[in-house]
């Protein structure tokens, strides 16, 4: 059997009226499997299509046929060569293989700051001891007496050697990776060959949580076939476990989209292997998400009026819900589920805000009723913002704060489940996160409208696009650490600009000279010269402008990450429409992967698309 490799998605969609809102039913048709030629194939094709028309009905099944090769397991541990030594308390100590493996995890991280953190060291040491022989346990009693430097040096040398490999060797590795990708990186789901997202099982190592994580440094154990659940069709060719091993389970659950799962030992949560964002199943979901956000657009004013009304409610519960919703809407905060204390870093979202996270200022500078937010959100990224709010919100907040300690919940009568139940009643499919999607997308659309000037150049248009994107990223608080090389790369760019500037003035001077000469001689040759110089000036001006745009863009982007909003919050059809409207090449906005992920939108949206 062989497959199409080029993706040429086709879509069918229906409008379904519900509650005055238009719903879409997504029917995404990526490439078909190309089977044998001839009548038989034609007949099969017809069968597939007949099947497809009736599929995705009401029973919640996600697929009918699923076949894959299973995961790629982590490579087995390779013991260190004899010359790499470990010292305890200054004395050479030969470690057993299991203890050595865990020690190498630590050694590999030695240059990272977190290996100096007490919590990291403590957790590592505790888990490391579990891997030691009783003899090792009795000898090694203090992690501070462990010397991992030779191991660390060895790994550094290894990675150095890898960099120094010849072209041939590198090519071989590349080919091998390609082979593995071809073998394990694709599956067949309902007549389509689809790319798998993460087909490699996570290798063992030391857990590194984000922020101040209580479990940092713990051993993330090796996943064996016996830990792995395979999900595929009964009538498919089941993936084979490695010789002499067996899977934990092979199941055939078409109510879920994952192919492989296992339970991770740090939090005890389940990890999955799923399809790539370019797949039908992910694309449909993505489309659906934006359609829900568009339905919110249609009723958002009604909901806003409602929560403003609720600020006056005599029920505390309702007031809290209404203020929280106001924050979610206005500031694009996340819902804020409760978390188990001591299991994860201490971070919050809207519903889990605590008294200590906000400060109220009846007056601040020339503004009234200012709320200052300062808390750690997802991934322990700090959210800091000062916002003037309406008097009624302010008064409510004062009320919520009464008689509370800093560590008490701000919204003590509210959680995400209550909030989402309420939202569900207001609009079918509405949850807290839809507001983020809606506000992000609507902001992009508005900003694009506002910032794009019809007669600016393509680079200027791209700057406008990035600025619109940036407005969203700021709204959603998508920050990044300023790149380590930021200052330098900025400087380099500035040098380039200075040089261009010099070049420009030199060329301008030449143009002037050419003009004078032409005035004097009036011959063809001097006329040509003027033209040549004029063109040169123009070209250099363009180059200079492009550089300046780039510099502005980069500077403004120093601590802002655009990727997350682009990938997860912005209805791609807005961008596609914009690109088509202004004749900006699609590649300037979406790279190859993004174009694959958003193939449905590129296909669907015309320049008049309105979110």
Partner DNA sequence: GGTGTGACTTGACCCCAATCTT
Partner DNA sequence: AAGATTGGGGTCAAGTCACACC
Beta-sheet strands, E only, within 471-575: none
Strand ranges of the sheet holding 192-195, from the earlier edge strand across to the other edge: 66-67, 186-189, 192-195
- What is the C-alpha separation between 497 and 263, in angstroms, rounded? 53
**Residue of 227, 181, 177 whose CA lies nearest to 204:** 227
- HSE value, Cβ hemisphere, 13 Å, CA-based, for 359: 9
Burial of 105 (0-12, 13-18, 19+ CB in 10 A): buried
Q: How far is the CB of 587 from DNA (least distance, A)?
A: 8
Q: How far is the CB of 451 from DNA (least distance, A)?
A: 21
Q: What is the 3-state secondary structure (H, E, C) of 53-105?
A: HHCCCCCCCCCCCEECCCCECCCCCCCCCCCCCCEECCEECCCCHHHHHHHHH
CB closer to DNA out of 493 and 504: 493
Beta-sheet strands, E only, within 201-319: 205-206, 219-220, 229-231, 249-251, 260-263, 270-273
Q: Which residues contact 206 (CB under 8 A, 6 or more apart)?
A: 105, 106, 109, 120, 124, 217, 218, 219, 220
CB closer to DNA out of 198 and 510: 198
CB-CB contact of 143 with 125 (8 Å): yes
CB closer to DNA out of 433 and 533: 433
Alpha carbon distances (Å) from 131 to 88, 126, 262? 16, 10, 22
CB closer to DNA out of 367 and 485: 485
Q: Which residues contact 429 (CB under 8 A, 6 or more apart)?
A: 292, 295
Q: How far is the CB of 468 from DNA (least distance, A)?
A: 17
- HSE value, Cβ hemisphere, 13 Å, CA-based, for 329: 21
The torsion angles phi and psi of 147, rounded to 5 degrees, stand at: -115, 110
Q: Which residues contact 240 (CB under 8 A, 6 or more apart)?
A: 70
Q: What is the dihedral of CA 280, 282, 287, 288, to 10 degrees?
A: 110
Q: How far is the CB of 476 from DNA (least distance, A)?
A: 6
Alpha carbon distances (Å) from 364 to 174, 323, 396? 60, 21, 18
Q: How far is the CB of 430 from DNA (least distance, A)?
A: 8
CB closer to DNA out of 33 and 418: 418
CB closer to DNA out of 203 and 513: 203
Which residues are 359's β-sheet partners? Answer: 372
Q: How far is the CB of 478 from DNA (least distance, A)?
A: 4
CB-CB contact of 335 with 349 (8 Å): yes
Count of CB atoms situated within 10 Å of the CB of 388: 14
CB closer to DNA out of 203 and 362: 203
Q: How far is the CB of 524 from DNA (least distance, A)?
A: 36
DSSP secondary structure letters along 129-170: HHHS-HHHHHH---GGGEE-HHHHHHHHHHHHHHHT--HHHH
CB closer to DNA out of 9 and 349: 349
- What is the C-alpha separation between 295 and 287, in angstroms, rounded? 12
- What is the C-alpha separation between 294 and 566, in angstroms, rounded? 17
Burial of 24 (0-12, 13-18, 19+ CB in 10 A): middle
Q: What is the 3-state secondary structure (H, E, C) of 236-269?
A: CCCCCCCCCCCCCEEECCCCCCCCEEEECCCCCC
CB closer to DNA out of 306 and 568: 568
CB closer to DNA out of 149 and 593: 593
**Residue of 514, 441, 448 whose CA lies nearest to 472:** 441
- HSE value, Cβ hemisphere, 13 Å, CA-based, for 108: 16
Place of tokens 């541990």: 77
CB closer to DNA out of 237 and 251: 251
The residues that are catalytic are 569
Q: How far is the CB of 371 from DNA (least distance, A)?
A: 19
């Amino acid at each position: 059997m062989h497959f199409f490799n080029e993706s040429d998605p086709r879509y069918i969609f229906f409008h379904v009226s519900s509650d005055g809102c238009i719903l879409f039913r997504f029917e995404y048709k990526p490439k078909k499997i190309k089977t044998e030629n001839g009548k038989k194939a034609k007949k099969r094709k017809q069968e597939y299509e007949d099947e497809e028309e009736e599929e995705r009905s009401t029973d919640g099944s996600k697929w009918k046929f699923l076949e894959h090769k299973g995961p790629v397991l982590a490579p087995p541990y390779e013991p260190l060569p004899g010359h790499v030594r470990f010292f305890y308390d200054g004395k050479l100590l030969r470690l057993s293989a299991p203890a050595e493996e865990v020690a190498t995890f630590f050694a590999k991280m030695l240059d990272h700051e977190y290996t100096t953190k007490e919590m990291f060291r403590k957790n590592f040491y505790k888990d490391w001891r579990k891997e030691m022989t009783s003899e090792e346990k009795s000898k090694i009693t203090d992690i501070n007496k462990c010397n991992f430097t030779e191991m660390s040096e060895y790994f550094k040398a290894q990675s150095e050697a890898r960099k120094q490999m010849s072209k041939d060797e590198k090519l071989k590795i590349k080919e091998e990776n390609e082979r593995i990708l071809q073998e394990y990186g694709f599956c067949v789901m309902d007549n389509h060959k689809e790319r798998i997202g993460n087909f490699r099982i996570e290798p063992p190592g030391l857990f590194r949580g984000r922020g101040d994580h209580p479990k940092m440094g713990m051993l993330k154990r090796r996943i064996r076939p016996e830990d792995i659940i395979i999900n595929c069709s009964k009538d498919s060719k089941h993936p084979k476990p490695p010789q002499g091993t067996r899977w934990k389970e092979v199941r055939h659950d078409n109510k879920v989209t994952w192919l492989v799962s296992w339970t991770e030992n740090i939090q005890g949560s389940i990890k999955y292997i799923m399809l790539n964002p370019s797949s039908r199943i992910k694309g449909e979901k993505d489309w659906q998400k934006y359609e829900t956000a568009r339905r919110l657009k249609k009723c958002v004013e009604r909901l806003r009026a409602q929560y403003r009304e609720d600020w006056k409610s005599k029920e505390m519960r309702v007031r809290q819900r209404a203020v929280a919703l106001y924050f979610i809407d206005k500031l694009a905060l996340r819902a804020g589920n409760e978390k188990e204390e001591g299991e994860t870093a201490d971070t919050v979202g809207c519903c889990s805000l605590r008294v200590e996270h906000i400060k109220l200022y009846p007056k601040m500078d020339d503004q009234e009723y200012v709320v200052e937010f300062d808390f750690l959100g997802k991934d322990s990224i700090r959210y800091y913002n000062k916002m003037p709010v309406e008097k009624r919100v302010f008064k409510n907040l004062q009320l919520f704060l009464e008689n509370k300690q800093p560590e008490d919940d701000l919204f003590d009568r509210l959680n995400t489940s209550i909030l989402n139940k309420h939202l569900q009643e207001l609009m079918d499919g509405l949850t807290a996160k839809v507001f983020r999607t809606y506000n992000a997308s609507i902001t992009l659309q508005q900003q694009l409208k506002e910032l794009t000037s019809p007669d600016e150049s393509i680079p200027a248009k791209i700057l406008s696009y990035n600025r619109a994107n940036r407005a969203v990223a700021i709204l959603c608080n998508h920050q990044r650490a300023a790149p380590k090389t930021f200052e330098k790369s900025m400087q380099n760019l500035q040098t380039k600009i200075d040089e261009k500037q010099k070049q420009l003035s030199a060329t301008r001077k030449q143009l002037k000279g050419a003009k004078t000469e032409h005035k004097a001689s009036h011959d063809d040759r001097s006329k040509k010269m003027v033209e040549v110089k004029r063109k040169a000036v123009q070209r250099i001006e363009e180059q200079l402008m492009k550089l300046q745009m780039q510099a502005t863009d980069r500077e403004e982007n120093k601590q802002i990450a655009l990727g997350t909003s682009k990938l997860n919050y912005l209805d791609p059809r807005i961008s596609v429409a914009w690109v088509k409207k202004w004749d900006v090449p699609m590649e300037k906005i979406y790279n190859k992967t993004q174009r694959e992920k958003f193939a449905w939108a590129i296909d669907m949206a015309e320049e008049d698309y309105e979110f």
